[in-house]
Amino acid sequence: MRAVLFDLDGTLLDIDLDAFLPVYFGALGPVIANLTGSTPSAAIRAVMDSTNAMMLPHPGTTNRQTFDARFIELTGVDLEHEDGLITEFYTKVFPTLGSGLGPTDGARRAVQTAIDAGLLVTVATNPIFPAAAVSERIRWAGLGDIAFSLVTTYEIMHACKPDPAYFHETALMLGVDTSECLMVGDDAMLDMGAAKAGMATFFVGATGGETADYRGNLNELAELLPTFGIC
Whole-model pTM: value is: 0.96
Q: Are strands 181-185 and 3-6 parallel, antiparallel or unpaired?
A: parallel
- pLDDT per residue rounded down to tens, the chain (231 residues): 999 999 999 999 999 988 999 999 999 999 999 999 999 999 999 999 999 999 999 999 999 999 999 999 999 999 888 778 888 999 999 999 999 999 999 999 999 999 999 999 999 999 999 999 999 999 999 999 999 999 999 999 999 999 999 999 999 999 999 999 999 999 999 999 999 999 999 999 988 899 999 999 999 999 999 988 665
In a 13 Å sphere around the CA of 38, the CA atoms on its Cβ side amount to 17
Q: Are strands 13-14 and 200-203 parallel, antiparallel or unpaired?
A: unpaired
| Contact assessment for residue 221 and residue 186, using Cβ atoms and an 8 Å cutoff | no
* Contact present, 4 and 121 (Cβ < 8 Å): yes
Question: What pLDDT score does 203 carry?
Answer: 98
